[in-house]
Structure 1
Amino acid sequence: MNVAYFSNQFATNQGHGIARYARQLFKELNTYPDISITPVAAWSNHSDDKKKELIRQTGLRLMPWGRVGTSVSWTFLNWPPLERWMPEAIDVVHAVSLGYPISTNKPYVVTIHDLGPLTHPEFFSNTNPWVMKRCLQQAIRKADAFICVSQSSADELESYVDTQISERIHVVHEGIAPLFLEAPELTSINSLTEMPQPDIPYILTAGKISPRKNGARVIQAFSQLIDVIPHHLLLVGGDGWDMKEISNQIEGSEKLRKRIHLLGYVSDEQLHTLYSMASLYIHPSLYEGFGLPLLEAMASGCPVVTSNISSLPEIAGDAALLVDPYDVSAIAEAIHEVCTNKKLADQLRRYGRLRAKQFSWNACAEQITHIYRQVA
């Protein structure tokens, strides 16, 4: 079976989110000898040398019209079919995210990570919801199967559309990279200049700084505890569209300036080490399609506090403390409880490791290959 695996994120230099999903799933799908997976993208922002190396290693094919040309042709003309540009006969086309309304006459599978820009636009900036809406409308008409990364995303999809599609929806959880189940390389963080002193305990939160990640309330909760616990707070992730608000919060308090550290983007190896050394991973997100950082933290042996809404309870199970993400006092109370109660923290570490092991890319790929065979 030949599968055209369309993902622009696969061909970018990003390392998180959908890009991680696309690469990890691709790697696992390639272990099936009877299935040939060819990654396809409209464009790549890698340097020429890295682009050539990616093509050599993975067989990546770039569409000849580039980012804009491909989008315009498929969105407005529904032409030409993707399979026309493939070197071999294609049996299935898999859109790895809801990005472009792909033109194809082959059996068609679409992965839905979330519908956030359509259902929760207040949490997303610089998006083109009309493109996403157009893509979803096309998928509803043409897709033989929808892969939703959580039951929460599946429920959201069903409630959003006005067509009966439940028989085409398959919930397939993401997996966790083996790296996070291995012993961390402690020296990997030696190059991080914004770290606190080695003897100072810390709380970790990760993700691009944006309203959806709820960083402002994390800082408010931390400020309530700053004279109660000795911990520092580490923020990992790139600047988002509410970075100014976060910076103002920190700069407005001398105590916070001394106790909060902005690390920016870090490598997976560094993130794994940061998780493993943290007293707590705090993730009170207001909206998530899945919530992979929870599992990465759990696999790394870090206690987790997360939200009691969206997909997060589904992913966390009973291995994390769940809080109302809109209640600053509740967030502060949970942080205090984990950071001062060793018995609870150790219990969360044990439960977390067991929970993380239930999510594997091997199981994810096995379910997806079954879907391929169903629709082909």
Structure 2
Amino acid sequence: MAPSTPAPDRTDHLALDGRVLSDEYHGIGRLAEMLLHRLAGSAEFEVTVFVRPGQRSRRFDIDGLIEGLGYRRAHFDLPLTSPMQWIRWPAALRRVGATVTISPYSLGGPVVGGGRRGTFVHDCIMETDARFAPDRRTRALYMMHTAMMARRNRVLTRSSASARDIERFYRVPVRDWQVIPGGVDETFARGARPATSIDGQDLPATYVLQVGARRPHKNVAGLVRVLPLLPEHYHLVLIGTIDARFPDPVPALAGELGVAHRIRHLPRVSEAELHSVYAGAEAFVYPSLIEGLGLPLLEAMAAGLPVVASDIPVFREIAEDAALLVPPDDPRAWAEAILRLRAPAERAALVAAGHEKVTKNTWDVTAAKMLDAIRRM
């Protein structure tokens, strides 16, 4: 990576699209939260956070992140999916005097106005496979919107794997300094007490854990196919909402395979609850077919869990030797990898490698690279 650009001798007015601070956007919202915490007290930036009127979240303390950190709040009453925002953004950004604008999600944010503009293109999931989009129209609109944002803003992304996909689909070069790797909140490493129940559901004594919204690319059905190959006392705990735009094959498949009683689904959990569920898991399992980064993988490593993940480019990049990587469509290989973790030496080696990995992927490192990228835009 090129040497960091020194801080300029001026105060920029940074506008951040805070509409991603919602329960719907796990990793994207976490990125925005991190950046707000790290900008607090900076003499380099004045900050305005745009949110929707009455915006609420179970995952994020929106009032604390804005007024609590001394930022200004501005309202922008359009959803992230509305094309009308391209018309409305310039005037909104002029009103707050923005000289830098950061859009944590490529579906939101301006294509003109707002000074120097950066937008995160986190992945090319829908671009890679039409099955990963709710329908053809949504996919076409998403790609049109992302193409416009990518060509009119400085692209920022979360991994080199995503950078390569962005260059392939949108013909936009992404340099090393535009890759902002994921960070892990230090609270995940503080040894939470394992949860015994969440939202009235008892948690089993032995379970493997997956975190993420229920969408086709997450390949949750692949994990259901693994359960019959594991001992009966192994259970599967799934954290994340079910995306109603997609058919959910899990209930029917679990019934067909006779493992429905071994699955717990927790649609929404608080931050404290999430730490406790991580703490009680036997392993973290991540069977995705494609990801832009995979923040839960890093959170699980920080929490001291061994990880079994799909052998895909981004996980090879992020996990390296700190996870067991197996083909996403091979249930027997998944079962064998999970059962390998019963060997104390193998388990300890993976946990140690994961700990070493996340010590190099802190939010402070992410924030430093983010600030460097903002200065270079």
What SS is found at the alignment partner of 2:210? strand
Distance 1:356 1:167 in 2: 23
Structure 2 residue 351 is the aligned partner of structure 1 residue 354: no
What SS is found at the alignment partner of 1:128? helix
Look up the match of 2:202. 195
The amino acid of 1:343's aligned partner reads A
Instruction: Report the TM-score when normalising by structure 1.
Output: 0.85
Greater displacement, 124-133 / 150-159: 124-133
Q: Is the 8 A contact 1:148 1:170 kept in 2?
A: yes
Distance 1:24 1:155 in 2: 25
What SS is found at the alignment partner of 2:178? strand
- How far is the alpha carbon of 1:80 from its aligned partner? 3.5
Distance 1:108 1:7 in 2: 15
Instruction: Report the TM-score when normalising by structure 2.
Output: 0.85
Structure 2 residue 269 is the aligned partner of structure 1 residue 269: no
What SS is found at the alignment partner of 1:155? helix
Question: Where do 1:145-160 residues align within 5 Å?
Answer: 145-160=154-169
Look up the match of 2:7. none
Structure 2 residue 298 is the aligned partner of structure 1 residue 299: no
Q: Is the 8 A contact 2:80 2:107 kept in 1?
A: no
Change (3 A) 1:191 1:305: closer
- How far is the alpha carbon of 1:249 from its aligned partner? 2.0
Distance 2:114 2:30 in 1: 28
Change (3 A) 1:7 1:368: same
Structure 2 residue 346 is the aligned partner of structure 1 residue 344: yes
Residue identity (%): 26
Change (3 A) 1:133 1:232: closer
- How far is the alpha carbon of 1:42 from its aligned partner? 5.3
Structure 2 residue 220 is the aligned partner of structure 1 residue 215: yes
**1:190-234 deviation line (CA, Å, top 9, x unaligned):** 44432345xx3221122122221111111111212245xx32222
Look up the match of 1:129. 139
- How far is the alpha carbon of 1:331 from its aligned partner? 1.4
Look up the match of 1:9. 20
Unaligned runs of 5+ in 1: none
Look up the match of 1:109. 118
Distance 1:172 1:150 in 2: 7
**1:78-126 deviation line (CA, Å, top 9, x unaligned):** 873442121xx32211111101351315111111211222333312327
Structure 2 residue 290 is the aligned partner of structure 1 residue 287: yes
- How far is the alpha carbon of 1:72 from its aligned partner? 4.2
Structure 2 residue 36 is the aligned partner of structure 1 residue 29: no
Distance 1:287 1:326 in 2: 12
The amino acid of 1:308's aligned partner reads D
* TM superposition outliers: structure 1 runs of 4+ over 6 Å: 50-54
Look up the match of 2:100. 92
- How far is the alpha carbon of 1:33 from its aligned partner? 3.0
Q: Is the 8 A contact 2:157 2:163 kept in 1?
A: yes
Unaligned runs of 5+ in 2: 1-11
Q: Is the 8 A contact 2:198 2:266 kept in 1?
A: no
Distance 1:224 1:357 in 2: 34
Distance 1:300 1:357 in 2: 12
Change (3 A) 1:31 1:147: farther
Structure 2 residue 255 is the aligned partner of structure 1 residue 251: yes
Aligned pairs, number: 358
Q: Is the 8 A contact 1:30 1:36 kept in 2?
A: no
Match of 1:312 among 310, 315, 320: 315
What SS is found at the alignment partner of 2:328? coil
The amino acid of 2:103's aligned partner reads A
- How far is the alpha carbon of 1:260 from its aligned partner? 2.2
